[in-house]
Structure 1
Amino acid sequence: MNILITGGTGLIGKALQQQWAPQHQLIILSRQAKQLQLADRQVRYISELQQADFNKIDAVVNLAGEPIADKRWTASQKEKICHSRWQITEQLVEAIAAADTPPHTLISGSAIGFYGRQADQEITEDYQAFYPEFSHDICARWENLAQRAASDKTRVCLLRTGIVLAENGGALKKMLLPFKLGLGGPIGNGVQYMSWVHLQDMIRLIDFLLQRPELKGPFNAVAPKAVTNKVFTQYLAARLHRPALLPMPSFMVKLLFGEMSDILLYGQRVVPKRLLAAGFSFTYPQLPSALAALKL
């Protein structure tokens, strides 16, 4: 297939490139297109969507977006987080609509933040009691924009992604140093749920959705067994053979991170109901085996 990937130089995008480059023709949208093209002649890099012919693209994977947890949520940073997702998605939808033979599939990013903060109830794709906060607002509009591409020629799949576990990036990489130094511990009271997925399973489920033309709509891109922050902390500390005895009190988290502390202090217990029903099998359904498979 001819596949266009936005956000192709991020954690998931890079892994997709490695997985798909031997079997598909890839077009990667990137601001560093010229430099990247010199380094990798197997993949075509473009700096603007106008450089892609959507009549010749079979599928689009839309992963672009400013990282949500890299900086404090100032007004300007929140705007950057939103528009880095919304603008490119809107442009993709317009390009798909304008094509005579548009891509048959749009797989577009979202996040479990769509549900907002939740307690310990298991959350499937059918859940409707969203908590109204910034993370929900981002994802709700992001998904609504992507859904506009849906037609009898194009199906839309939405990836409500959790914490992606990888050794070379993402949230886990940020946690490793304090834990390796023996300074790790639960965040707040530690009862908030963390819904996670191993990077390998994330790539496999995206490929699964690509290969199943009958599937569309939202999918919880998480492993079946979410854990509390306290349990996650214990497993990670055990994996690194370090203690985890230094909890970070809620007031300290709020002082350090401001409004962004919401995504650390509150969580969601999300279940991949629709993926499991469609027959997808996770290589790493449990956290201990997922951590063991990573070179930490």
Structure 2
Amino acid sequence: MVLSETGGALQKLVNPIKKGFGAVLASGEQAIPWIYSEDLYGIFELVIANRLEGAYHASAGNTTNKELTQLIAKSLKKRLLPSVPKFIVRLLFGKMAVMLLYGNTVSNEKIHSEGFSFQHGNLNSTIQRIFG
């Protein structure tokens, strides 16, 4: 998930929280790889400048649905509703629920080995930067 002040996937989480309908999905333990937009641009620059080949995970780290949702709510000074049960998520989102209910942990070691340093590698301070 690319975190940015200008929208993207983050806004899908933020909007319900702002309106008072935010909640953790199911157990909340689903892994979410994340990166701040400036670091993503930096990775693109490194890959292009050094003509790197192959696949690289553009992720500053991994969080969980619960941690990310709670950090956003705290930053916006909003309360969360009780977590949404799996079957409700499936009813609301159909096949797309799979993406929301099952996480994906990735490693950024390969991009690190190419010399990339994340400027925004701390999720809490990144969320504060966006919403602070």
TM-score by length of 1: 0.43
Once residues 76 and 131 of structure 2 are traced to their aligned partners in structure 1, the CA distance between those partners, rounded to angstroms, is 10
Once residues 166 and 246 of structure 1 are traced to their aligned partners in structure 2, the CA distance between those partners, rounded to angstroms, is 26
Once residues 294 and 217 of structure 1 are traced to their aligned partners in structure 2, the CA distance between those partners, rounded to angstroms, is 31
| Amino acid in structure 2 at the alignment position of 1:189 | S
Whichever of the two has the greater Rg, that structure is 1
Once residues 206 and 237 of structure 1 are traced to their aligned partners in structure 2, the CA distance between those partners, rounded to angstroms, is 31
Alignment-derived partner of residue 7 in structure 2: 169
Alignment-derived partner of residue 222 in structure 1: 59
Alignment-derived partner of residue 244 in structure 1: 80
Alignment-derived partner of residue 263 in structure 1: 99
| Amino acid in structure 2 at the alignment position of 1:212 | N
Q: How far off its partner does 1:295 sit?
A: 4.4
| Amino acid in structure 1 at the alignment position of 2:55 | P
After the TM superposition, which residues 110-125 of structure 1 pair with which residues of structure 2 at under 5 Å, given as runs?
A: none
Matched positions, count:
132
RMSD value over aligned CA atoms?
1.4
Once residues 177 and 234 of structure 1 are traced to their aligned partners in structure 2, the CA distance between those partners, rounded to angstroms, is 14
Q: Is 1:185–1:246's contact at 8 Å kept on the other side of the alignment?
A: yes
Identical residues among aligned pairs (%): 36
Q: Is 2:76–2:131's contact at 8 Å kept on the other side of the alignment?
A: no
Q: How far off its partner does 1:181 sit?
A: 2.4
Deviations 1:4-46, CA, capped at 9 Å, x for gaps: xxxxxxxxxxxxxxxxxxxxxxxxxxxxxxxxxxxxxxxxxxx
SS in 2 for 1:285: coil
Gapped regions of structure 2 (runs ≥ 5): none
1:178 to 4, 8, 16: 16
Is the counterpart of residue 194 in structure 1 residue 10 in structure 2?
no
TM-score by length of 2: 0.92
Once residues 28 and 100 of structure 2 are traced to their aligned partners in structure 1, the CA distance between those partners, rounded to angstroms, is 10
Once residues 41 and 131 of structure 2 are traced to their aligned partners in structure 1, the CA distance between those partners, rounded to angstroms, is 18
Once residues 280 and 236 of structure 1 are traced to their aligned partners in structure 2, the CA distance between those partners, rounded to angstroms, is 27
Once residues 106 and 71 of structure 2 are traced to their aligned partners in structure 1, the CA distance between those partners, rounded to angstroms, is 19
Deviations 1:134-168, CA, capped at 9 Å, x for gaps: xxxxxxxxxxxxxxxxxxxxxxxxxxxxx111122
- Give the ranges of 4+ consecutive aligned residues of structure 1 lying more than 3 Å apart after TM superposition: none
Alignment-derived partner of residue 108 in structure 2: 272
Once residues 267 and 190 of structure 1 are traced to their aligned partners in structure 2, the CA distance between those partners, rounded to angstroms, is 10
SS in 1 for 2:44: helix
Q: 1:250 to 1:232 in 2, by over 3 A?
A: same
Alignment-derived partner of residue 95 in structure 1: none
Structure with more helix by fraction: 2
Alignment-derived partner of residue 71 in structure 1: none
